[in-house]
């Protein structure tokens, strides 16, 4: 799969039913979408596998992510 197709798939997978998550992820894509490294894209794919409520709790800082290697992606999401 091409890099562009992979990023398109991730962007599509970022669409959520929770408005707050949609807003965070939309801002994330505007700010970081074009500059994501392959490692960051892989981390984002893993983060997007989380349930919406869990992801929101983690982004808000109410919970920590169980996988330390994903912490950098969580920090990028929290920045926006």
Per-residue pLDDT of the chain (80 residues; tens, 9 = 90+): 788 888 999 999 999 889 999 999 999 999 999 899 999 999 999 999 999 999 999 999 999 998 999 999 999 999 98
Query: Which range marks the domain in which residue 60 is found?
Result: 3-79
Are 47 and 62 contacting, i.e. CB atoms less than 8 angstroms apart? no
Residue 48 CA to residue 40 CA, distance in Å, equals 12
Q: Tell me the CATH number at 15.
A: 1.10.150.250
Are 12 and 4 contacting, i.e. CB atoms less than 8 angstroms apart? no
Categorise residue 37: left if φ over 0, alpha if ψ from -120 to 50, beta otherwise: beta
**Domain count along the chain:** 1
pTM confidence score: 0.90
């Amino acid at each position: 799969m091409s890099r562009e197709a992979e990023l398109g798939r991730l962007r599509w997978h970022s669409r959520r039913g929770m408005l707050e998550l949609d807003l965070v992820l939309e801002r994330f894509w505007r700010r970081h979408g074009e500059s994501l490294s392959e490692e960051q894209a892989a981390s984002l794919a893993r983060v997007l596998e989380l349930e919406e409520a869990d992801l929101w709790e983690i982004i808000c800082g109410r919970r920590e992510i169980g996988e330390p290697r994903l912490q950098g992606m969580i920090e990028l999401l929290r920045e926006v």
